């Protein structure tokens, strides 16, 4: 809605006294509201969009990159010029029509098509055989459950892509040492593709529609170590998400941040898990608003266990479901601290409001008022199944990693990777 009239409150409402806020509204905001209601704004005229196959520019590699950067079509790194010939190479790896509309992406309401998925895949440095993965990711981005429209919100959360299935080895994803670091073409370029789609199709531009306070760069793809998962008798993340073992699946979710849990020690599940549970609690703060209030039931933290930690837990006879139950019962904090975080510290609930009051009003789930003791320990999620668990990373190191979820502003969403009918033949030629 270009030229939408608005009234500005100077500063940030959370960092002003009531007197300062009142003064700012009376002396600044009120005048702007009156003007907005009484003065007709100038008509906004939008620039026409280029056609689907229009050639935007011709030039050298350097000139093309300069053009893309100046027109906010690149992420600041050199892009592979998306020539028609390169795009058509990508289209060979899908049975879908180039003109097929995958979805419409907010905030620009621009169509995501198989054709522009291929364009952004070329730009990101992907190989043509990655195309089935890219299309599945475009489907996830367009899914209303995911909530792409929140991709520019101020916490600066960014999406992590997790991949499962035989395609991990087909496309040579890294799933061992340094799994979250760049340096492997599939993990790195597909992660970059997601960011370019957000910029070029959804329309998230820094300092404009992307209002991240800090933000992260794009995250490389996390590939699960399915050999390790099978060895210990667990199921991969894709099965937890409702698919069959052996299906090729992408799972996306947006996380405000994360951190490594270093040097986990112990010879069994009972010795290993207390440290992990305590570390998860230490990472979650404002995101409790997606557990308790004002948006209860949406928090889905992701725990990545290195294979050796997962093996240590499994040899105690514990299933992944047992681990989730343990984390639900032990990754807890005192009720008074949750109330302080959400009330006094972040103003997500009225200051002084108690969890029991939120339960009685129908906002918070009932388990947050099992007693009125302010020191009672309450969970950081609403259900054991809210914890997402995957196995990946250096097989020989006793470290774990936790990502804290951005709630409904990037809900965990999974899609099946649909391979073309002649996938094996195409893959053999590509190699």
Strand partners, 414: 251
DSSP string of 151-199, one letter each residue: TT-TT--EEEEEEESTHHHHTT---STTTTSS-SHHHHHHHHHHHHHII
- Confidence (pLDDT) at 131: 98
Tokens of 260: 């490594």
Cα separations (Å) of 2 from 31, 104, 274, 373? 21, 19, 52, 51
pLDDT band for 1, please (50, 70, 90 cuts): low
Q: What are the tens digits of pLDDT across the range 366-387? A: 999 999 999 999 999 999 999 9
Give the C-alpha separation, 331 to 202, whole Å: 36
What's this model's pTM, rounded to 2 decimal places? 0.94
Signed CA dihedral, 419, 422, 426, 429: sign only: positive
Query: Is the pLDDT assigned to residue 88 strictly greater than 80?
Result: yes
- Confidence (pLDDT) at 286: 96
- Confidence (pLDDT) at 384: 98
Give the C-alpha separation, 64 to 86, whole Å: 15
- Going by C-alpha positions, the residue among 205, 173, 203 that lies closest to residue 187 is 173
Cα separations (Å) of 405 from 160, 258, 298, 300, 355? 10, 9, 9, 5, 21
- Confidence (pLDDT) at 358: 96
Kindly report the backbone phi and psi dihedral angles of residue 291, in degrees, each rounded to the nearest multiple of 5, phi listed first: -105, -45
Cα separations (Å) of 310 from 161, 175, 318? 21, 15, 10
Q: What are the tens digits of pLDDT across the range 330-369? A: 999 999 999 999 999 999 999 899 999 999 999 999 999 9
Q: What are the tens digits of pLDDT across the range 209-259? A: 999 999 988 999 999 999 999 999 999 999 999 999 999 999 999 999 989
Buried b (16+ CB within 10 A) or exposed e, 113-139: bbbbbbbbbbbbbbbbbbbbbbbbbbb
Query: Is the pLDDT assigned to residue 79 strictly greater than 70?
Result: yes
Give the mean pLDDT of 197-217.
94
Give percent of the chain above pLDDT 90.
Answer: 93
Query: Is the pLDDT assigned to residue 276 strictly greater than 80?
Result: yes
- Confidence (pLDDT) at 190: 98
Contact of 280 with 399, CB cutoff 8 Å: no
DSSP string of 46-77, one letter each residue: PPPPPPTT-------HHHHHHHHHHTT-S-SS
Peptide bond into 388 cis (omega under 30): no
- Confidence (pLDDT) at 96: 96
Give the mean pLDDT of 288-312.
97
Count of alpha carbons within 13 Å of 5, Cβ hemisphere only? 14
Helix axes 185-197, 114-124, angle to 10 degrees: 130
């Amino acid at each position: 809605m270009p030229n939408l009239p608005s009234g500005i409150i100077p500063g940030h409402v959370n960092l002003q006294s009531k007197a300062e806020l009142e003064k700012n509204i009376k002396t600044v905001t009120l005048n702007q509201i009156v003007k907005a209601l009484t003065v007709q704004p100038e008509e906004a005229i939008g620039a026409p969009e280029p056609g689907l196959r229009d050639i935007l520019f011709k030039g050298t590699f350097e000139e093309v990159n300069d053009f893309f950067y100046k027109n906010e079509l690149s992420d600041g790194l050199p892009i592979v010029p998306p020539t028609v010939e390169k795009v058509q190479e990508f289209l060979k790896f899908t049975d879908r029509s180039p003109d097929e509309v995958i979805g419409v992406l907010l905030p620009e309401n621009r169509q995501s098509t198989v054709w522009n998925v291929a364009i952004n895949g070329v730009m990101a440095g992907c190989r043509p055989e990655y195309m089935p993965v890219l299309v599945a990711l475009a489907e996830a981005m367009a899914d209303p459950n995911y909530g792409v429209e929140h991709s520019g919100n101020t916490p600066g959360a960014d999406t992590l892509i997790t991949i499962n299935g035989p395609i991990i080895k087909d496309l040579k994803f890294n799933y061992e040492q340094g799994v979250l670091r760049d340096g492997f073409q599939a993990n790195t370029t597909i992660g970059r593709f997601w960011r370019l789609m957000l910029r070029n199709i959804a329309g998230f531009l820094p300092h404009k529609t992307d209002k991240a306070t800090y933000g992260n760069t794009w995250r490389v793809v996390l590939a699960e170590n399915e050999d390790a998962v099978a060895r210990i008798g667990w199921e991969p993340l894709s099965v937890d998400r409702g698919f069959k073992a052996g299906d090729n699946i992408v799972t996306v979710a947006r996380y405000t941040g994360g951190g490594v849990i270093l040097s986990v020690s112990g010879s069994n599940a009972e010795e290993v898990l207390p440290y992990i549970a305590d570390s998860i609690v230490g990472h979650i703060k404002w995101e409790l608003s997606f557990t308790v209030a004002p948006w209860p039931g949406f928090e889905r933290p992701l725990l990545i266990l290195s294979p050796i930690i997962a093996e240590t837990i499994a040899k105690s006879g514990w299933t992944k479901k047992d681990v989730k139950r343990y984390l639900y019962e032990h990754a807890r904090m005192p009720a008074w601290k949750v109330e302080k975080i959400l009330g006094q510290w972040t103003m997500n609930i009225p200051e002084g409001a108690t969890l029991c009051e939120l339960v009685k009003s129908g906002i918070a789930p009932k388990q947050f008022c099992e007693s009125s003791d302010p020191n009672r320990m309450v969970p950081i999620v609403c259900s054991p199944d809210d914890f997402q668990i995957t196995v990946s990373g250096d097989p020989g190191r006793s470290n774990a990693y936790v990502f804290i979820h951005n709630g409904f502003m990037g809900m965990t969403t999974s899609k099946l990777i649909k391979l073309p009918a002649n996938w094996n033949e195409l893959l053999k030629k590509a190699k």
